């Protein structure tokens, strides 16, 4: 998104991401806090599957980029962080993430440092 871009937001409730062949590619921004990562991780895994299919296999949907913003108190509260970082590494430039920590006092491990912002 850029300044003055139009965006659509969904907060809570029953939601999913299931693009069909022929749908226009979209750029997704996923925002989670705490355990709210659960449904968004499912969407992120589905997106990874769609990216994996773009070599001539799959349903024909061309996926755009995805940015995940995930907030927690400290690194130990970031659920699925290894899975998320694995997807970022597997799809460089297509899937990115930023972890925001609100109460981290301990040193942040080297693997997470490039993906973390503080208070």
| Residue 102: CATH number of its domain | 3.40.50.80
pLDDT at 97: 96
How many domains does one find in the chain? 1
Give the global pTM. 0.82
**Residues 6-52: tens digit of each pLDDT:** 877 777 667 778 888 788 888 899 999 999 899 999 999 988 888 77
Whether 70 is covered by a domain: the verdict is: yes
Whether 21 is covered by a domain: the verdict is: no
Whether 4 is covered by a domain: the verdict is: no
**Structural domain harbouring 106:** 28-53+61-115
pLDDT at 59: 58
Please give the Cα distance from 31 to 94 (Å, whole number).
Answer: 16
64 pLDDT band, cuts 50/70/90, is confident
Give me the mean pLDDT over the 63-69 stretch. 91
Please give the Cα distance from 70 to 40 (Å, whole number).
Answer: 10
Whether 85 is covered by a domain: the verdict is: yes
Give the closest residue to 44 by CA, choosing from 7, 1, 79, 8. Answer: 79
């Amino acid at each position: 998104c850029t300044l003055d871009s139009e965006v659509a937001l969904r907060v809570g409730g029953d939601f999913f991401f299931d693009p069909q062949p022929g749908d226009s590619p979209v750029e997704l921004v996923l925002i989670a806090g705490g355990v709210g990562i659960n449904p968004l991780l499912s969407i992120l895994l589905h997106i990874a599957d769609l990216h994996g299919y773009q070599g001539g296999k799959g349903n024909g949907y061309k996926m755009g980029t995805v940015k995940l913003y995930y907030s927690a108190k400290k690194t130990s509260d970031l659920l699925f962080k290894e899975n998320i970082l694995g997807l970022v590494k597997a799809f460089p430039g297509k899937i990115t993430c930023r972890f925001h920590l609100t109460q981290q006092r301990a040193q942040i491990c080297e693997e997470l440092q490039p993906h973390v912002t503080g208070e």
